[in-house]
Homo-oligomer: A and B are copies of this chain.
Amino acid sequence: MLIALDAMGGDHAPAETVAGAVQAVREFGLEVALVGPPDVLEAELARHGPRPAAIRVVGANETIGMDEAPAQAVRQKRDASINAAMRLVKKGEAAAVVSAGNTGAVMASALFVLGRVGDIERPALGALFPATERRGVLMLDVGANADCKPSYLAQFARMGSLFVERLFGVSEPCIGLLNIGEEEEKGNELAQEAYRLLERSGLNFVGNVEGKDIATGQVDVAVMDGFTGNIALKMGEGVASLMLSEMRSAISSRLRYRLAALVLRPALRAVRKRLDYAEYGGAPLLGVNGVVIIAHGRSDATAVKNALRAAGEVAASGIVEAMAEAFKR
């Protein structure tokens, strides 16, 4: 299975994207198309020894920066690496696209090149929150749509339900609405109206959930507008980092703590690893005509590798075909 990697996307591209691709083909037996300026990518590849047969370079000579207006940049720079990667999927040559680049540009390019599935009003960005060891909570939308209508949230719930069913084999996934209280009448106007739509959606809607319910894995899917979801996700990341750094400074304050911490290191590392975004392999963009995985802008090689693996799994699940069926006009 060939995955198209936007090799120029992300804060540490192309060094970490190319390194991640090399790891992914070695560890998971994937094929990767590195999309970007051939000379740059060939030079980067050369640093990893003999080139793996499963890696190819697909030329694209423009890139979109983090500060460019996404929709405009995607239209103007036809030969941007993200557009070229999407075209590989559009033509059926690649099974999925992975990018750690400007999120807005990835979404714009996906809409521009691949288009939406059936009657989907707005694609949504999903993120798997690692609540318990065995299951994560799929949060969506975590940033594709800052302003949402209630009907968008109802569609996000349907897409999320289908995704969790296909990817994790959960039948009738539990769907929650992220809100500020458990009672039906809680929340802003958007949440109140979305609640009513979800109640009669035919999905396994279990009502409102709060941040703590996501952290403890009370539902399989939590729906929300992209503004709220993005903030909730980043607040969670911020608190996790804060706790780890507090812990580090508390431990380094005395010699006996530092010694005890040496013994505990494997246990603490396991905790950090479970909560580390790099282990999770990026966020699927649901509702577009193809598999698109958006990795964290700060992705290192491990994060890129895991995003490639996730892309392969999502493509193999047949979710895009299932969505096309479920949302056909």
Contact = CB atoms under 8 A, between A and B. Distances in A.
Contacts of A215: 235, 238-239, 241-242
B238 A267 contact: no
Interface stretch (A36-44, A87-95, A182-190, A307-315): A182-190
A305 B96 CA distance: 56
A83 to B, nearest CB: 22
18 contacts: A146-B180, A211-B232, A211-B233, A211-B236, A211-B239, A212-B234, A212-B241, A213-B238, A214-B238, A224-B231, A236-B239, A239-B239, A239-B240, A242-B275, A247-B267, A253-B267, A254-B267, A256-B263
Interface residues of A, number: 59
Given A214-B238, A235-B232, A243 B275 contact: yes
Number of copies: 2
Contacts of A231: 178-180, 210-211, 224, 228, 231-232
Contacts of A236: 211, 235-236, 238-239
A147 interface: yes
Given A232-B235, A234-B212, A243 B246 contact: no
A112 interface: no
Contact of A264 (B146, B211, B225, B260): B260
Contacts of A187: 146, 227
A212 B227 contact: no
A247 B268 contact: yes
Contacts of A253: 267
Interface in A189-231: 189, 191, 210-216, 224-228, 230-231
Given A178-B231, A232-B231, A236-B238, A271 B257 contact: no
Interface in A251-284: 251, 253-254, 256-257, 259-261, 263-264, 267-268, 270-271, 274-275
A227 B146 CA distance: 14
